[in-house]
Amino acid sequence: MSQNNEQAMDLYDHVYTYLHETWDPIGVKAFGENGEYASYTDDIVLMIIRKVSINQLANHLQKLVEETMGLEWYPRNFHVESAYDLLVLRGK
């Protein structure tokens, strides 16, 4: 496996873990659910690799929460802080 592929897999693992352990807007972690956010991971990893802005990623997260999950009570700073945390993973 090439170094780029290994880095991408590591990033995928970090993002997947972050979504389940930290982001978790619907609280599935408390129920031991492990795959709820898997469908979001690929797009987020690609956005991180493409070096999108913090606002672009925050908008994507907000859209997932509001439009896909149907939740509207999360403040904007929740999405911005999560986007920042995810973009920091690019350097790991």
CATH number, domain at 55? 1.10.340
pLDDT at 64 over 80: yes
- The answer to whether 38 touches 23, Cβ cutoff 8 Å, is no
Domain tally for the chain? 1
Q: pLDDT digit string (tens) for 19-41?
A: 999 999 998 888 887 788 999 99
Note the pLDDT of residue 46.
95
Angle, vertex CA 27, rays to CA 40 and CA 18, nearest 5? 45
- The answer to whether 83 touches 58, Cβ cutoff 8 Å, is yes
Tell me which residue range forms the domain holding 70: 3-91
> CA 17: distance to chain centroid?
9
Q: pLDDT digit string (tens) for 74-88?
A: 898 999 999 999 999
Task: Give the pTM.
Answer: 0.88
Amino acid symbol at 40? Y
Distance CA 53, CA 61 (A): 13
